[in-house]
Amino acid sequence: MTRPASPGSHPDSSDHPSSLDHQSSPGAQKALTANIATVAGVGPRRSAALFARHITTLGDALAHVPYRYEDLRRRDDIAALQPGTTAVLEGVLQNVVDRPMAGRWSRRMVSGLLKQPSGKSIRVVWFNLRSGGLPSGEPLLLAGRVNSGPNKLPELVHPEIYRLRAASPPALRPIYSLPAEVSQRLFGEIVSHAFKQNRGERLGAIPLQLQKRNNLCDILDAFQYLHQPPVDASLERLQTGATEAHRALALDEMFTFQLALARERARLQARNGAVLNGPADLTNALRASLPFSLTPSQVRSINEISAELAGSSQMNRILIGDVGSGKTMIAFYAALRAVESGWQAAIMAPTELLAEQHFATFSRLCSPLGINAVLLTGKIRPAERGRLLRALRRGDIQVAFGTQALIQEGVAMSRLGIAIIDEQHRFGVFDRARLMALGSQANVLMMTATPIPRSLARTLFRSLHVSSLDEMPPGRIPVKTEVVDEAMLNSVDAKVRAELELGRRAYYVLPLIEGQDDPDSVAATAKRLRSTSLKGFAVGVLHGRMRPAEKDEVMRQFRDGAVQLLVSTTVVEVGIDVPEATIIVIVAAERYGMAQLHQLRGRVGRGGDSSQCWLVLSHQASAPARARLERLAQCKNGEEVARMDLLTRGPGDLFGTRQTGALPLRFAGFIHDLALIEQAGELAQEWLQHDPELASRESWGARQALARMLEFGFSMHGSPNLESHMIP
């Protein structure tokens, strides 16, 4: 195996599993599963902090790659230092003083002067350190943060020390996302220990035979490159995740993912589902009663779903469509198809408010058809809940709407024919598993508004059939989108006020929750709007730290008009229909991905009035960021947005945090070309033809990688017993 020749970096990924946590030989397996608490210097307190980040073994430590790097090859000039930056300085440490910290006699502060040959010097400070361990009077390299010290002079705070006489410092210092209890230096020692324990072993899921035939980078070499980059490594490529090492990790993980999909697809093809082929009386009556015509893509999706539901194999389909493209109507059609075939349907939404909205809409459209539907949420009183549960078990209730309350203990359905999951990426895999447990023969329809090109969706979700809605219902007025600088915010406020005075409603979306003095925070913006430009209007606040009941109450007030202006973080992305909302202002818009911005602007334009989306650039926004948002302003639908995102940033950017419930991937963000996903699929298919049961010794790494993914709840369909089907 050749060591990767080009370098890269990656954000914190400690909360996701990886195919690379396991390896292709039992020897490496034993070494990498060693508890991290056994490493010298870790101890109970530090190991507990690492366990909370899902770093429990040496293998986890290797897979926790740096999220950025400091370039120790550079040398900074003391005279040019600015507070708030980092510096790399060479010099001799002098005048070292060790004294107790003020008010904290148990802690020590050490200070000194780092003097350079030019005669310039800077104060250096360490906390909780004793001077006896400092190498004063010899050449040192110090790397750390610059603060404003006494007399507003710059000082270097708690820098790392490298003794130039003893050994050369690393060229590029890896920086990890770590809990406060664990220092960068200690974690580096843990990683070094992991490498020593695994010297000569092979890691990863891709079998050696495939690695050699396709000239793929060895996974241990890839880890070594990222944790201990060579002196000639490119900082830019490391920082952007563009190295062969990053590609190797992404490919190995995607290979595992595609193995899982291929195995699951084979299992599903042999699994019988509820056959929903009854007379189409209810569905025909629904379509005849609609005051509008279905779009061609809605008709196409209905035909695809109907044909599959009528077959004997279980349906597993994902419906992709923009916010407002009519996915809910498809869900109602599928639910009625179950009812008219003698089965029940369950429709699960991520919030009580959205479940209520779906239930109210369904009741308005389908109650005249004689359908018995109920809403099951956490608010229902115990006596009423007991009555509903008994009716569900008897089969008296035909369609059940709800949130996670549908999957709580005691819920059972006698003949569940279809399970429909709205905003599927908002549910964890175990939530989907429990919903599926309500009926072993239930067909599955998942829906998402995340813009993903149809061709990419078919590659990613190989075990699913894909339907897509690529047009909006008639009468929808496209949302006008404009990009402005934050200096124009007062002008935008005035336009918002004009809309509110007409009885309409508006959103402001901010990236931060708190910070009274930070213009990009919900708190500061709500305070500003209440006291200045939008004084007199009811301003509501919504963010992720609020309890679900609080969030639902604010959204109800906004829906009903008690609140005219909603100041929120991106939690509003999955909201409810508020036709009166005609304007959305997204502050610091350059911080968001194009797909997320597109979904946010889908919050408006849901009524008959023209609507506006303002993308406000902060003063730190770069020229490329402005160009990206101006391109987004020209995109009218999710397919265009997804295609542009794919061309400009790569498919890895489609695996954001919003998808982690569906895709348990750690290194997917390294994927910068669709070819890598396709290559992983081809490799997985090739290996399964060679070893369909993954029973050979060379499939050891693949078996372990699959087990690890399943351990973290991986299942595109949430089968609670998926492991028994997939792992020999």
Q: Which of 17-31, 32-46, 299-313, 705-719 has the lowest mean pLDDT?
A: 17-31
CB-CB neighbours of 630 under 10 Å: 14
Structure-model confidence comparison of residues 1 and 166, the more confident one:
166
C-alpha pair distances (Å), 227 with each of 9, 38, 200: 10, 21, 17
| CB-based contact 663:655 (threshold 8 Å) | yes
Residues 487-499, mean pLDDT to the nearest whole number: 94
CA–CA separation, 341 vs 274, rounded Å? 9
CA–CA separation, 407 vs 428, rounded Å? 12
What tens digit of pLDDT does each residue of 713-724 get? Answer: 433 333 333 322
Classify residue 23 by its DSSP letter: B
Angle, CA of 229, 231 and 234, to the nearest 5°? 70
SS3 state of residue 551: helix
Residue 310 has pLDDT above 90, yes or no: yes
**Sheet containing 443-448: order of strands:** 373-376, 399-402, 344-348, 416-421, 443-448, 316-321, 465-469
Q: Determine phi and psi for 445, rounding to 5 degrees.
A: -125, 115
Token pair listed for 189: 């020692």
Confidence at 354, pLDDT banded by 50, 70, 90 = confident
Q: Is the pTM of this model over 0.75?
A: no
Confidence at 727, pLDDT banded by 50, 70, 90 = very low
347: nearest Cα among 268, 297, 416: 416
CA–CA separation, 155 vs 210, rounded Å? 53
Q: Which of 53-57, 127-131, 151-155, 451-455 has the lowest mean pLDDT?
A: 451-455
What tens digit of pLDDT does each residue of 664-694 get? Answer: 577 876 776 778 888 888 899 899 999 988 9
Residue 260 has pLDDT above 90, yes or no: no
Q: Do domains 281-311+326-448 and 480-635 have the same CATH topology?
A: yes
SS3 state of residue 112: strand
Token pair listed for 620: 């730190």
- What residue type is assigned to position 407 of the chain? I
| pLDDT for res 441 | 81
Residues 568-589, mean pLDDT to the nearest whole number: 88
| pLDDT for res 73 | 87
CA–CA separation, 371 vs 667, rounded Å? 46
| pLDDT for res 617 | 93
Q: How do 316-321 and 172-175 pair as beta strands?
A: unpaired
| pLDDT for res 107 | 67
CA–CA separation, 700 vs 292, rounded Å? 56
Fold of 281-311+326-448: Rossmann fold (3.40.50)
Q: How many residues does the chain have?
A: 728
Q: Which of 332-336, 435-439, 560-564 has the lowest mean pLDDT?
A: 435-439
Non-local (6+) Cβ contacts of 520 within 8 A are 510, 511, 512, 587, 588, 618
Q: Does the CA dihedral 320-249-197-66 come out positive or negative?
A: negative
Q: How many contiguous H segments (helices) and E segments (strands) does the chain have?
A: 24, 20
CA–CA separation, 339 vs 343, rounded Å? 5
CA–CA separation, 654 vs 452, rounded Å? 7
Residue 496 has pLDDT above 80, yes or no: yes
Domain ranges of the chain: 1-72+174-270+673-728, 73-169, 281-311+326-448, 480-635
Give the orientation angle of helix 219-227 with respect to helix 244-269, to 10 degrees. 140
% of the chain at pLDDT higher than 70? 81
| CB-based contact 402:317 (threshold 8 Å) | no
| pLDDT for res 21 | 41
- What residue type is assigned to position 586 of the chain? I
Residue 115 has pLDDT above 80, yes or no: yes
Which stretch of DSSP H or E encloses residue 222? helix 219-227
Count Cα neighbours of 76 within 13 Å in the Cβ-side half-sphere. 23
% of the chain at pLDDT higher than 90? 33
SS3 state of residue 205: coil
273: nearest Cα among 307, 305, 316: 316
Non-local (6+) Cβ contacts of 406 within 8 A are 346, 348, 376, 400, 435, 438
**The residue to which tokens 């004009």 are assigned:** 498
CATH architecture of 73-169: Beta Barrel (2.40)
407: nearest Cα among 435, 429, 380: 435
| pLDDT for res 131 | 62
Q: Determine phi and psi for 294, rounding to 5 degrees.
A: -70, 150
448: nearest Cα among 256, 553, 602, 631: 602
Residue 362 has pLDDT above 50, yes or no: yes
**The residue to which tokens 């359908």 are assigned:** 371
CA–CA separation, 111 vs 483, rounded Å? 49
| pLDDT for res 650 | 63
CA–CA separation, 499 vs 428, rounded Å? 38
| CB-based contact 401:349 (threshold 8 Å) | yes
| pLDDT for res 357 | 87
| CB-based contact 143:86 (threshold 8 Å) | yes
- Please name every residue paired with 348 in a beta bridge, in sequence order, or none if there are none: 402, 421
C-alpha pair distances (Å), 233 with each of 76, 221, 603: 20, 14, 45
| pLDDT for res 435 | 58
Residues 550-567, mean pLDDT to the nearest whole number: 92
Residue 305 has pLDDT above 60, yes or no: yes
Residues 422-445, mean pLDDT to the nearest whole number: 62
| CB-based contact 537:531 (threshold 8 Å) | no
| pLDDT for res 656 | 46
Token pair listed for 39: 């490493």
- Please name every residue paired with 86 in a beta bridge, in sequence order, or none if there are none: 145
- What residue type is assigned to position 406 of the chain? L
Confidence at 313, pLDDT banded by 50, 70, 90 = confident
Residue 542 has pLDDT above 80, yes or no: yes
CA–CA separation, 581 vs 499, rounded Å? 9
What tens digit of pLDDT does each residue of 261-279 get? Answer: 777 677 666 678 889 999 9
| pLDDT for res 657 | 38
Residues 617-641, mean pLDDT to the nearest whole number: 85
Residues 7-33, mean pLDDT to the nearest whole number: 47
| pLDDT for res 24 | 47
Confidence at 484, pLDDT banded by 50, 70, 90 = very high
Residue 2 has pLDDT above 50, yes or no: no
Residues 551-562, mean pLDDT to the nearest whole number: 91
Highest mean pLDDT among 8-12, 195-199, 406-410, 516-520: 195-199
| pLDDT for res 519 | 74
Residue 38 has pLDDT above 70, yes or no: yes
Residues 655-662, mean pLDDT to the nearest whole number: 42
What tens digit of pLDDT does each residue of 191-248 get? Answer: 999 998 877 677 889 999 898 888 888 899 999 999 999 989 999 899 888 899 999 9
Confidence at 298, pLDDT banded by 50, 70, 90 = very high
- Tell which phi-psi region holds residue 373, choosing left (phi > 0), alpha (psi between -120 and 50) or beta: beta
What tens digit of pLDDT does each residue of 367-418 get? Answer: 899 999 999 887 788 888 889 889 988 989 999 998 877 776 678 888 889 9
CB-CB neighbours of 616 under 10 Å: 26
413: nearest Cα among 386, 443, 387, 391: 391
| CB-based contact 513:523 (threshold 8 Å) | yes
CA–CA separation, 188 vs 66, rounded Å? 10
CA–CA separation, 659 vs 662, rounded Å? 6
| pLDDT for res 340 | 95
| pLDDT for res 243 | 92
| CB-based contact 463:289 (threshold 8 Å) | no
Angle, CA of 632, 581 and 318, to the nearest 5°? 60
Whole-number average pLDDT of the chain: 82
CATH number of 480-635: 3.40.50.300
SS3 state of residue 664: coil
CA–CA separation, 589 vs 484, rounded Å? 10
Q: What Rg do the C-alpha atoms of the chain give, in angstroms?
A: 29
Classify residue 168 by its DSSP letter: P
**The residue to which tokens 């790397």 are assigned:** 143
Q: Which of 52-61, 125-134, 682-691 has the lowest mean pLDDT?
A: 125-134
Residues 624-643, mean pLDDT to the nearest whole number: 83
CA–CA separation, 349 vs 351, rounded Å? 6
